[in-house]
Amino acid sequence: MYIDDFSSLKLWNCTNTQKPYCAQILGDMGAEVIKIEHPTRGDDTRAWGPPFAPYKDRRAGEGESAYYLSVNRNKKSVAVSFKEKDGARLIQTLAADVDVIVENYLPGTLKKYGLDYKTLSNVNPRLIYASITGYGQTGPYSSRAGFDVMVEAEMGLMHITGPRDGPPVKVGVAVTDLTTGLYAANSILAAIIERGQSGQGQSLDVCLSDCQVATLANMAQSVLVTGERDGGRYGTSHPSVVPYRAFRTKDGDVLIGGANDRLFGILAKCLGKAEWASDERFSSNSARVANREVLEKMIEDMTSSRPSQEWLDTFEGTGLAYAKINDIKDTLEHSHGTRSPWCNYMTCFTARALYSKLTPSLPFLLVVARDMIKQVQHPAYGKLKVLNSPVKYSRTQPSIRTPPPLLGEHTDEVLRDMLRLGEDEIKRLRENKVVGGESSTT
């Protein structure tokens, strides 16, 4: 099932790296997404491995990279070179009948091929054209290429990420790319709503640098309020809330969030130090921030005396915010995100208790409870597990209808069904290397 209002929405996606995340979100909602790729090499991320999901059929090569598979479901792949005149004309014809275009080329690049917003909107005035770049369509850096990590560095995020006394580090995923994709998807949805009122499309200038600055949030606002430089890196700590960080245990680490006076009081009791709550050094958050080093050492002296699981058991049911720090494999097998066949949402914690007593050799006993892992049938790999769309709707629900496509998997289908080209013309385009992908006639 998908969101019916989007089932007639046509979008073509001419992007590389994480920018396809935006189009994937819309595809999950039901939009028909046509991914335009280079005829021979395709999306750059197809080669961003290992790891690869290996081909299990006659195809040569290492397979599809996990990176590519993560952001390209619910799309049709059309392999066409717009640098060829015939290829540009194909895309121009296609653009006349689509609702949305998402592209991430440097400003001015697509104008050379007649694929810019001004040219295409003259033919299709209802077109919504989202350009995702590193630094935007205007400004002194507009001509500069920008990848996630460069923007993390340039726009402040890397400076505040990492251990207190260590070097700046990047976030573990391409978070700036991902948040930019989210902003772009939201902006496209807003433009669709506005188009319903005005009848007109518009261009959207979305860039990593703006989105990264916007997501600095409270950290940026603190600098705007004080006029002073930020406090640098705090590791897992919060610059304005104490205690709020990972504390060492006897065998690992536990994240604890005593984010207000009530929660700090609960933590103090759990640690067997109820008197801390009335200590004037710790009686308010501002006092705890002022005495951060003293309090955090006192807490860690306690937490380091017992194993992580004992602390998790102690904190359970108290109302305190806490968490074990899991690696990704443990996360994907987490009992909150999983359930056994005999348990429903209300009893998933019972299943967790049961699962914790079972042998570790059964890591895949549990299946998706919060529905965050799905299985699809990939044409060359077979059964493929992928992450699901995270929002749960009460009536309609985004869905994974198709796996990430092979390069040019839908070239013939789109040329034939959407552009009404005959088999002879498709064959000519393929022979002239204007389009790629396997022929549907072979």
Q: Using CA atoms, how far apart are residues 52 and 228, in angstroms rounded to an integer?
A: 46
Nearest to 243 by CA among 275, 212, 266: 266
Alpha helices in 113-174 (DSSP H): 117-123, 148-154
Q: Is 36 helix (H, G, I), strand (E, B) or coil?
A: strand
Asked whether the beta carbons of 351 and 25 are under 8 A apart, the reply is no
Phi and psi (nearest 5°) for 29? Answer: -80, -5
Q: Is 442 helix (H, G, I), strand (E, B) or coil?
A: coil
Phi and psi (nearest 5°) for 437? Answer: 95, 160
Q: Using CA atoms, how far apart are residues 118 and 96, in angstroms rounded to an integer?
A: 13
Tokens representing 340 are 């056994």
Count of alpha carbons within 13 angstroms of residue 161, beta-carbon side: 15
Q: Which helix (H) or strand (E) holds 312?
A: helix 308-315
Nearest to 26 by CA among 43, 5, 42, 41: 5
Distance (Å) of CA 211 to CA 62, 145, 181, 336, 390: 35, 16, 9, 31, 21
Annotated active-site positions, please? 177
Considering only the C-alpha atoms of the chain, give the largest distance between any 2 of them, rounded to a whole number of Å: 84
| 176 Cβ contact list (under 8 Å, min separation 6) | 148, 151, 152, 155, 157, 208, 211, 212, 215
Nearest to 143 by CA among 207, 227, 89: 207
Nearest to 243 by CA among 191, 301, 193: 301
Tell the burial category of 174 from Cβ atoms under 10 Å away from its Cβ (0-12, 13-18, 19+).
Answer: buried
User: Would you give the DSSP letter of residue 276?
Assistant: G
Count of alpha carbons within 13 angstroms of residue 94, beta-carbon side: 30
